[in-house]
Structure 1
Amino acid sequence: MKNIFYFLVVISFSKAIAQSDLNQTKNNNPIFKGWYADPEAIIFDKTYWVYPTFSAPYEKQVFFDAFSSKDLVHWTKHEKILDSSAVKWAKKAIWAPSIIKHKNKYFLFFGANDIQNDNEVGGIGVAVASKPEGPYKDYLGKPLVDKFYNGAQPIDQFVFKDKDGQCYLIYGGWRHCNIAKLKPDYTGFIPFEDQTVFKEITPENYVEGPFMFIKNNKYYFMWSEGGWIGPDYCVAYAIADSPMGPFKRIGKILEQDPKIAVGAGHHSIIKIPNSEKYYIVYHRRPLTETHANSRETCMEELHFDENGFIKPVTITNEGVKAQFIK
């Protein structure tokens, strides 16, 4: 009888575990708890990382948390990898982190202070650490970009690494987007052949949140449209043969679903190494929330048609299934 009882207990426990795993994989959006926005997803050493904005009023939005995962489903929180106290010139509103690894160092680019003109202190900064989870410290002691060039507010920075290893800073709010060639040590910029530093590559309807990736030698440029506090926030894209464009808008690929969530936008893309699997990581506002900063980070698989165009993304509560990096 004891053996039968033990067997039944084991079976019952196994079913409970299986059901628990099923529940975990059934609703994976948001991918982690808390109000987080503007997520940049990246892979370091077979580990997924997401660096989001801590979504709060500007006076409280003064630090970054990061999240890591081995399978896209179970996430570990790394608290306060950068605090504005480590950046003397950053007083409020640090957001939209973008990260790149270079010579065993991790360089975290961020916007700070939400400057409204060239006379205010703030803009795009750089922090550095020896581990992806930090802690990060101010790299330059001043902003990397602290002025409005071509009408672009210095926010929403993205670091793009081209096929030849050259890195570019792509950034901009207020409906203007610039690209600039970064120095190898990220301390400044290398002028283009015509001696200009910041070139405008703004596509039609661009508002903010630029992102770029390469697929089949084509440059996919993506951005957010609409107002971030409204339901019309969305993601659109263009394709070109160069990171300089010209980028002609193709159309929207991510937007709200009134049955699921609103305000879907400001995203990033990750590609699973040695595969053709792509994922889009973005933020959205739950239907139960009305506050502008009640944003959560979610993920969906990204698909392409036979011509290389991005298929519209269906936002879900299910999210994505476990995906390990081989």
Structure 2
Amino acid sequence: MSLSQNISIVHPEYFFITGLTDAPYSTYFYIFLFIIYFISVIGNSIVLLIIALHRSLHSPMYIGVFNLALADIGETNALIPNMIKLFVFESRYISYNACLANMFFVNFFITVQTYTLVVLAFDRFIAICLPLRYNAIVNNKFMAILFSVIWAFNTFLVTLSTSLITRLSFCKSNVIESWYCDYDRLVRMPCNDSSINNVIVILIQAFFLVAPPFIIVLSYLGIFIALCKITTWEGRFKALKTCVSHLLVVGSFFLPIISNIVSASTANAKIIGGTLSLTLPPMLNPIIYVLTTAKIKDLIRKMLNNRSAQIRVNVSK
């Protein structure tokens, strides 16, 4: 019988999350994160309300934007408040069950974000490459089914990966060298066999860090080929303009993650980079869609004008 089979499963009562170890002025960084949290929640809530309340936005593309805003709010609430509690209030111990819950929700909403970006890329691909068949292929029912499948699949995969943590024995250390309950860090810590968990790490990276950008690049390769077939520059610009917001959101999501992975920096710099790579996109997404989408911008302008007119009427009374 192997040694790993003789080791009883040890689940610590608490994990200790290191965060920014001895980093100067780290409190100011967490104040910055609180500002990001506030803007993210307010911005995405505004996008959700605008899309929900205006029937003109009840279309396939905006269903995708609605889903992205919902995932952004979920990820922001799963990550930032817990970080502030852990590090600002010096409560760096998190219970075993709370750690698993934190891991589940952070990973779940990140995976939903990645495949929402894939769906939005598919939407733009069909709209530009097959414009005459767009309404037949992409409609509200299709998008609702597609996002239901994405949420169900992500729930299954993240539940499976999180539940497999319970088979690991943490008899050597309960210190997580990260800023949240990071799955990748946890599977390096046990004193029993974690080969199954390592396979899950590879699968998660393949499903959510490799496949999505690859599919998005293929979609835009098809879009580029379709644009080359448009005879006028005006037509090309008009078609490309519909992709600007999605391209900016994709860039803000994947580029910080990739740069943090490939960069050679100190532990604190890695943590700051990793934190920003997960927290900045949910803040930037609503700003990008509001600033680059004429429909949303016009609706916000009308809402503000109506509100100011109502205030003037109340004041005049």
Q: Which entry has the higher C-alpha Rg, 1 or 2?
A: 2
Structure with more strand by fraction = 1
Structure possessing the higher relative contact order (Cα contacts under 8 Å, 6 or more residues apart)? 2
The interval holding the TM-score normalised by the smaller chain is under 0.3
TM-score, with length taken from structure 2: 0.23
Q: What's the TM-score once normalised by structure 1's chain length?
A: 0.23
Higher helix share: 2
